[in-house]
Structure 1
Amino acid sequence: MIAALRGALGFFTRIPVGRDEAAWEAFARAPWTFPVVGYLVGALAAVPLVVAAVGPVPDATVALGVVLVVYALTGITHLDGVADLGDAAVVHGDADDRREVMRDSSLGVGGTLALVCVVAGLLTGALGVAGVATATGDGGLLAAVVLVIAAEVGARAATGVVVCAGDAAHAGLGSTLTAASTPRDALPVVAVALPAVVLGWPRPEPAVVALLAALATAAALQRWAARRLGGVSGDVLGATTETARVAALQAGVIVWTLS
């Protein structure tokens, strides 16, 4: 268990642990570790919200702080998956043609647009969360922190579900992870993610919707990848994490605002 958690930290974050072969092998067989990392990253990403509560800080600055912490912790590797899928999405051809475009290191219009949408979606989602924290007092701060955690946990759980339920398009990172798991392994992934919802009690609706939005994003991306790419790849997994995070934040903020 400890080796798997170390491997998850080494794979999903820039924290210098779990980079050895034993940790990687343990992690590859334990998709339940995905959302565990989400709790840590989410809690740290929420630090700018807590710091801003001490003194007057503009919401836009707080939102930028959340985004910077996320990428400082996780790196930008997953954004490469977003760019590759964006380029593949605009290709007129079959799965082989799309996979060929994804192997090209140059960035096309589709990839550029995908990156802009994801980063803008994360920034505006963080801005909405900052508004929740400052507009409603102490209760709002707690709700905002829970929402950031739930979004990150949901994003990691979404990626874990894709690993468990998806089939690899070709040999590589995707096949290494999907071959070690079965659809039944998705149950522990979801179970580990559920406490993020409880953190929002007595108003858990935003966290519930955030988690559901992340999982729905994963289902949509997995289906698209199966039809357009022939299956899951490392790029699909990275893009799932990034887009599910954005979907979770945006959905959670909307629910909080309307409720």
Structure 2
Amino acid sequence: MEDDSYFEDEEFSPIKSLLGLLTFSTILPINVFTSIEYMTKLTWCWPFLHLFVGILAAICGYVSLEILHLNSFFTAAIVYAFLMILTGYNHLDGVMDMADGVMVHGEPEKKIRVMKDSSVGAGGMATLFIVASLTIAGIYNILDYHFIMGIVICEMTAKTSLLTTALLSNPLTPGIGSYFINETRPSNYIASTAIIAIIAYILGGLAGVCGVIGAMVSGIIIATIAKRNFVLANGDVLGMSNEVGRLLSLLFMTVALFFL
């Protein structure tokens, strides 16, 4: 990251901010940096950026299935690994840290201290294993329905889950997560989610819309858990919401594909 003094006289640029957000959340060699204040002004656009990430993951899945002729389970594991590597394992620490904070007994202040601790406990490791395993199983399931667009939808809507949690949470300051939470407002959230639902419908019909609903449900659940345990939310809570959002999006799409 550039020195903070570099940003002192910077003017807001939507394109630069979007590219900065993509730089922040992936390992793609874009290397466009902007101040955290300007980057997070376009937090509501995050799902659209990960539409592109989801397309890359779907291409990875297509190559594995149709060109390399791997089975659906192996392909699902490869797609999940591809997503984790491409996003720089950005939210996995949030899964572990929030889980550790939730598992410990005590007042919110104690839980927050545990969540912010750099060490990882058994609860964090076990929760990461559960979320990762179920996500791979979810990808495997939609591939069994030949619904490869579900990969695009679940990655895109993972960020819808994150935005839902951000909208319903009060920020723990200081911290990067507080910028994302403060910039997620009802107006831009509604606009973002409505557009994402339209894209999901175009890509996957009613099953795609169910994926959006699953992500929103995930965001509500994580925000509720965070309020009960920590009162406030930080980047770890948003990270947990992202990963659980991908999982519940897959779950809702799988159920929808069976009944539709």
TM-score, normalisation: structure 2: 0.88
Task: Give the 5 Å matches for 1:81-230.
Answer: 81-133=94-146, 144-200=147-203, 204-230=205-231
Q: What letter is aligned with 1:182?
A: R
Given candidates 62, 87, 101, the residue that maps to 1:50 is 62
Report SS of the residue matched to 1:200.
Answer: helix
Aligned to 2:10: none
Q: What letter is aligned with 2:48?
A: V
Report SS of the residue matched to 1:77.
Answer: coil
Give the drift of 1:32: 2.1
Aligned to 2:9: none
Residue by residue, what CA displacement relative to the aligned partner does 1:51-95 show, whole Å, maximum 9, x if unpaired? 222463211221122112101210213010000111111111111
The answer on whether the counterparts of 1:91 and 1:98 sit within 8 Å (CA) in structure 2 is yes
Give the drift of 1:19: 4.3
Report SS of the residue matched to 1:21.
Answer: coil
Consecutive unaligned residues of structure 1, counting only runs of 5 or more, are 134-143
Report SS of the residue matched to 1:16.
Answer: coil
Distance 1:4 1:194, change over 3 A: farther
Mapped partners of 1:62, 1:73: distance in 2: 16
Q: What letter is aligned with 1:32?
A: W
Aligned to 1:34: 46
Mapped partners of 2:122, 2:242: distance in 1: 21
The answer on whether the counterparts of 1:31 and 1:189 sit within 8 Å (CA) in structure 2 is no
1:6 pairs with 2:19: yes
Q: What letter is aligned with 1:103?
A: K
Report SS of the residue matched to 2:125.
Answer: helix
Give the drift of 1:129: 2.1
Task: Give the 5 Å matches for 1:64-83.
Answer: 64-83=77-96
Give the drift of 1:117: 0.8
Residue by residue, what CA displacement relative to the aligned partner does 1:115-171 show, whole Å, maximum 9, x if unpaired? 0111101111111122122xxxxxxxxxx2221111111111121233334210231
The answer on whether the counterparts of 2:17 and 2:34 sit within 8 Å (CA) in structure 1 is no
Distance 1:161 1:208, change over 3 A: same
Mapped partners of 1:120, 1:55: distance in 2: 23
Q: What letter is aligned with 1:151?
A: C
Consecutive unaligned residues of structure 2, counting only runs of 5 or more, are 1-13
Give the drift of 1:18: 5.0
Residue by residue, what CA displacement relative to the aligned partner does 1:150-202 show, whole Å, maximum 9, x if unpaired? 1111111121233334210231112222233423221222133123322235x
Provide the identity percentage.
Answer: 25
Moved more, 48-57 or 82-91: 48-57
Q: CA RMSD in A?
A: 1.8
Mapped partners of 2:194, 2:182: distance in 1: 21
Q: What letter is aligned with 1:40?
A: F
Q: What letter is aligned with 2:140?
A: L
The answer on whether the counterparts of 1:34 and 1:159 sit within 8 Å (CA) in structure 2 is no
